[in-house]
Structure 1
């Protein structure tokens, strides 16, 4: 229960305490202290009727206690007194939600884009540094340094925790959308509360910025991907898209996502999230028109070229021009750290009648998620057995 509350409410608690305290580190420490207290007290006293409110109140009291302990003069005592006696009030502004307020302030232009995303993932999603590092495909120590530097920059530059003005919202949007999408990606497979939180934030963003097509594109993308959640796993094992039972897809989310994609098309201002949403809309309308998927990936490569986009395009190319053509495109990509690169390469090799075991082992060595590792182990066992059968036939 405590872990569920942590995943669902950590971000809200930190964002509320950050607004009240004006200090990220103090807010984080107070919330962590509150959860540590919950671990001790809830099994004995029972879970409170409003767990989130209990955490926020307890964290606020911990912050007051710390300010009193560290007080060296009247200023610290005055701050502690203010926190104790003043009610927590909501600020009026363009972003009424505390979590969105913290996202936008963490995405301040003075921070590097990757630091903006990483810091907000940690504060809003309650993700560990290791989880964020996996999302970024970088080593954990690198990500830890990035987060520490981001916090230091906020302190040194005295970046305020306040709602951005209307004029500042568009320039912060790209980083905010990246944050929401990464939270969704971290959660959609087996951490439903994170994926649902990302969709909730996407809906609020769409209400906040109704004329921004990329906001709607991201919302459509998340809805269409989330529609397949129930079919994505079977007995804890990953089921690939082509093998999924479409009867398990959430028809309401599919319909809503497709409606939003059509809305984006009417704007005729394509962006990366809108194109990815359109690709998923094509997949949601069987049978998949792979030529249309390749054309959409061509458009995506023209706007935001990257090795990962090229890898996904190659998967579609395999369906339109065959695995040999796709393998030629995959082999030139610099994605050795990315497990899906090796998994795609293994699939193409197998379809060409070549030995995929080395590529599958490389994918397994780099995969992090247990369900992905289980899938790769099964594929590796099947591939090894197939290679043994071929060797026996040759003899």
Structure 2
């Protein structure tokens, strides 16, 4: 979104028109909607602006629920915005630590600032992009104790502010698209700046879940969060918002439930042992946090192979931190024989899961030439370093 589009959108006519539009369902709605709006006398620029926002609001409901219907967005801002439920957890940390004034540096469209403001904290939100700062101002307007400034994170005066939240921009716009930045020094603000702030005051830093673990300071708590099976972020916490004796954490959110696995540091991997009757696939947050050994210890489980994130046991591993399977039988790992085995069992629909196997499931499924009425799940992995193919059934 450019400045001119924002001006169109923020006009009384623009906001009224946006709120009057029906819910966006698909791009097929566009032609007729554009025609109707143009016949009503609206300018092409205004029509384009409100239709784009209508589409973004519909997309944003996955993160913001009904709040999305009264917010404004940019495409990159929505992409990087924290889900409101996760943002509420961030805000809760600051509140429990007794923090009363939080600076949200690199606030984007204001998702985290919204959660901080909603629980009564004073918030100073800043963004280096003028349009984005203006959108955050609109989204945060209902909160009297919140102000938004158009500023670089590095230039915000932190006197009197006892807590800081940073969500460094990890993407850059290029040719109408965004690309991920590989070097943390290129983040805005840089990772060095973010961690430097953390050395001085209560600070939380949101990073991508695949961030190089060697960059995490030893004095910080690192918490990976997954939502409905998708690992969405790594939070690095310093000072009063870091929890005592916790260095690694995996927070698993599924539906309305949340469960957390914690440890002082990375846990040692479980011992490697033979395949049992049951198999478990740890949640991605547990894998990222390197707490597979912690999970295994609580269920008398073992690893199938070194470096492979599957656990096996002789009884079901019932845990919110993993998905369980019953092993039905071993099948030949060699492709031709595997195809014959699946054909003999009349399997025409096959879910393929893999770890430690260099295979494209979609391409393999095509080569297997599946026929039949049966459905099945196939796990391709390693046992003690050797390739295995396991026919399994989900326990959930």
Tell me the TM-score normalized by structure 1: 0.29
Q: Whose RCO is larger (CA < 8 A, sep 6+)? A: 1
The structure whose residues are more often strand, as a share, is 2
TM superposition score normalised by structure 2: 0.29
